[in-house]
Structure 1
C-alpha cells in the first residue's frame, strides 16, 4: 500500500485552496444569515473575513493528521 507523499507544494496548494473556499463559503453564509439585517455587501465582507477562521484551523489539523498517517 502506497502512502500519500506530502510535499511543501501540495501543502501550500491545500492551504491556498482552503483559504479561498472558506472565504467564499463565509461570504455566502454571511449573505444568507445577515443579508437582510445589515445589507448584502457588509454581510459578505464580514463573512469572508470570519469564514477562514474555522476553515484554516480545520485544514491545518487535517494536514497534520494526514502527515502522521501517511
Structure 2
C-alpha cells in the first residue's frame, strides 16, 4: 500500500506513468479474461473466451488510463 500512496502523492514522472500503465494493462487482461469467461464460455468454450477477453480487455483500458494520466499531467 505504501507504494501506491507514494505513486499517488508525488507529481507525475515518467516512472510513475509507466507503473500506472503497466498496472492498468495487467488488470485489464485479468478483467477481460474473467468477463470473456462469463459472457462467452457457453458459445465459444472456456479457453477461447478467456483468450479473446484477455486480448480485447486492454484495448479500451490502456488508452483510457493514458488519456487520464495526460490530463492529470497538464492540470
Same fold flag (TM > 0.5): yes
Match of 1:15 in 2: 21
RMSD value, Cα: 1.2
Aligned residues: 67
How far off is 1:7 after superposition? 1.0
Match of 1:61 in 2: 67
For the residues of structure 2 that align with 1:60 and 1:8, how far apart are their CA atoms? Answer: 12
Instruction: Give TM-score scaled by structure 1 length.
Output: 0.90
Match of 1:45 in 2: 51
Moved over 4 A (4+): none
In the alignment, structure 1 segments of 5+ residues that lack a partner are none
